[in-house]
Structure 1
Amino acid sequence: MRNHSGHDQAHHGAHGGARPGGLSVSEDGYTLELDATILTAGVQPVSFRVIGPDGQAATEFIPEHEKELHFIAVRRDTAGFQHVHPVRDEKGTWSTELALEPGDWRFFADIHPAGHDGTLTLGIDVAVAGPYDPRPLPEPTGIARIGAYTVALDGELVPGEASALTLTVSRNGSPVTDLQPYLAAYGHLVALRVGDLGYLHVHPEGEPGDGTTAPGPEIAFMAVAPSAGTYRLYLDFQHDDVVRTAEFTVRTTPTAPEHGGHHHGHQAPPAHHAHH
C-alpha cells in the first residue's frame, strides 16, 4: 500500500471527522470560481479558477495521481458522471470540455494546493438549461456492464469504518489480466453520497510497478463511508487504450453489534488505522 495513501486517509479522517468533501464551494481559504454557472446542453467548454487565501488564482499545486487537478462532473440525479483533467494557463485559469444534459449539476475540483496540508475537494452547483427529465436512482447491484466488459463489486461500505472494496474486470466472460495504468493505479474510484453528493476520498491498494499489484482482473480499494445511506460508485479503468466507467449503487451495512447487542455504529471509528 502506498505510504502517502495512509497519510491521506489519516488526514481526511482528522479533517472534520467523517465529513465528506465537495459539500462547500470554499474551504481553508480556497474557493472554486467558475466563469459561468449557467450552461447550455451539449459538449461545452468550461473554465474556472481556484482562488487562494491571497485572493489570487492559485497556480501551484502538488500532483495527486499524476494530475495537479481532478475535475468531476455529475448531474444531481447521479447521471452523466465525467472525470476529466483540465489544462491550466500561467495565470491560473483551467479549461476543459464536458458533455452536459439539461438539469442541475455538481462540479468538483480535487486539488492539493502547494503549501496546504493535504488535499481539498471543492464543489459548486451548475445549471444546464433545457427540459430536465430526472432519472431514478439505479437499484443496488454488484454487477456493472459496459459493452463487452463486466465489473463485479465485492465488499461493503460500513459507516465510520475503513472497508475493502474489490472490483473484478472481465471481458466477454474472461478475466482481464492486462489492465493499463490509469492515474498511477489500475483504476480510479470516486464515491458520492446520494442526497447531497458528498465526495469520498477512496484510495487504491498498491500501484502499477510495485512488484505485487497485478494488472487485473481485481482492483482493490479502501473506502470510508462517513454515514449510513446510499452511495454511487464510479470506477474508471483503462483497457485497450480506452478509459471506461463502471457505475454502482451501494447501500451501507450497519456495523456488527458488540457486547450485549448494542450498536456502536454511531461512534467515531478507531484511530488505529491512521498512519502518522
Structure 2
Amino acid sequence: MSKLVADQADGLRRLLAQTRTRVLAFASMGRGLGVTTMVMNLSAALAYQGREVLLLDEHGTDAGTASAAWAVEPVGTLADVANRRLTLHGAAARAPCGVQVLPAVPRTPAGSPDPRTLWEGDVILIDAVLDGEGQLSALAQAADELVLVMQPHAASITATYAGIKRLHYAHALRQLRFLVNGVAEPEAAQQVAHNLAQAGSRYLAVSLQPAGWVRAEPHMADAGRLRRTVVEAYPASPAAADCRRIADEMGQWPWRPGASLAPQAAPVTQGTNTAAAC
C-alpha cells in the first residue's frame, strides 16, 4: 500500500511540474574523474532508448568537451537560442547517436534561461562547471537533480564530501545524488556509497542518494579514438551495460517537490520557431 501511495504522489508531482522534460546536472569535484565521458555515455544510452536528449555543455567546445569528443560543431550557444538569434535545431549539433549538443557557458542568474522554455524533449543533461568557489551556475541550480561523479579512491571521496559541504552551505541543498565511476569491484562501490550517504545524513542532514556505479573500461581510449562513447562503440562491455542500467533507472527517479535545486530566474518566453546517454 505504501508503494502505491508513493507512486500516486510521484505521478501528481509530474502533473504539477507542467512539463515532460527532466533536467539533470552532472558535476565533479576535480578533474579527470570522467564526468564529461559519463554525461556523454548516459546521453547516448538514453537516446538509444528512444528518448529525445539535449546535452548542455558549460565547458564550451574546446578540447575535452562533448563537442570535441564527438567531433561535432555547434553553430551557436544556449544564449543564441534564448535571445532568438538561432533556433535550438539551428544552434545545436547532432551527435552520431542522436543526442543534440549545445554549448551553454555559465551566465549570471538574471541571464540564465530555463532550458525547458526553449526545448520540449524528454531529457536535458547539463555537463556543469563549478566556479572558483565550488558553486553551481544558475543553469545547474535550476536542474531537477544534481549528480556528482566521483571515483572509489580516498582523494576523490574526500574531495567529493568537501564539495558537498560547500554546495550545501552555498545553495541550501538538502538532496543530491552521486555516481561512482571507474569501479573495479561493485562491492567496494556499494561500501563507498553507504559510507558517504551515512556521513551526509549524520553531519549535514543532507540526503545523498546513490545513482549507481560504472565499471572501469579498458577500451575507453579506443572509443575516444573512434569519436564514440563506449555505449556506441562497445555496447557489450560491462561499462556500457552499467550506463544503460543507470539511464533506465534515471527515468524512475521520483520527481521531487519544488522541481529545482534553487529558485529559478524568470522564464524566457518561447518563440514560435523552436525546435536528442553513456
TM-score interval (norm. to shorter): under 0.3
Return the structure number with greater relative CO, CA threshold 8 A, min gap 6. 2
**Greater helix fraction, Structure 1 or Structure 2:** 2
Calculate the TM-score normalised by the size of structure 1. 0.25
Q: TM-score normalised to the size of structure 2? A: 0.25
